[in-house]
Structure 1
Amino acid sequence: MSTPYLCPNCKTNRSRFNIIEQHAKSVKLNPQTGEILEELDQLALGPLHVPYRGPNYKIQCGICGLIEEELSFIKHAQLHQ
């Protein structure tokens, strides 16, 4: 996170951002009520449960509110130096 950002939407913001940390929690739900029946360990998910493979961070522009992956903001800053 020590690289410059530029918002790909408003194209002016280079300094005000929210860094959103994502923590995935694997659960098993009751199909009728939606109640959490069990929290699943990441090492013992089983063959029918795909582990979370998304980004650890998302970035939100502090000016226009756009939320994207960090790479979008980094690449936009590199293209418009």
Structure 2
Amino acid sequence: MHEPYFCPNCKTNRTRFNIIQQVPIAVKMDPASGNVIERYDEVITDPFHNPYRGSEYKVQCASCSIINDEEVFIKAAQHNPRGTI
């Protein structure tokens, strides 16, 4: 989070963003009721349950509300340096 951001959607925002920290919770749910049957805390022993492999952070533009991976906002800033748009 020490890189400049630029919104690739609205193409105006360089300063106002919401950083969303993703904290996955691995659970097994009852398919009929939706109740949580089991919560996997540290080690997932179920061979059919893959651990979360997504990004740690998402970024939301506080102007247009688009949400994407942090890398998308960083790359947009690199391809549109200050003063080019």
Count of residues paired in the alignment: 81
Amino acid at match of 1:21: Q
Structure 2 gap ranges (5+) = none
Larger proportion of helix? 1
| Inter-partner Cα distance in structure 2 for 1:44 and 1:38 | 11
Taking structure 1 as the reference length, the TM-score comes to 0.94
**Is 1:51 matched with 2:51?**
yes
Runs of 4+ off more than 3 Å: none
1:25 CA drift (Å): 0.4
Higher alpha-carbon deviation: 66-75 or 44-53: 44-53
Higher alpha-carbon deviation: 62-71 or 33-42: 33-42
Work out the percentage of aligned pairs sharing the same amino acid. 51
Is the partner of 2:18 in helix, strand or coil? strand
1:46 CA drift (Å): 2.1
Structure 1 gap ranges (5+) = none
RMSD: 0.9
Taking structure 2 as the reference length, the TM-score comes to 0.90
1:45 CA drift (Å): 3.4
Is the partner of 1:44 in helix, strand or coil? coil
In structure 2, the partner of 1:60 is 60
Conserved? CA contact 2:44–2:51, under 8 Å: no
Higher alpha-carbon deviation: 34-43 or 69-78: 34-43
Is the partner of 1:68 in helix, strand or coil? strand
In structure 2, the partner of 1:5 is 5
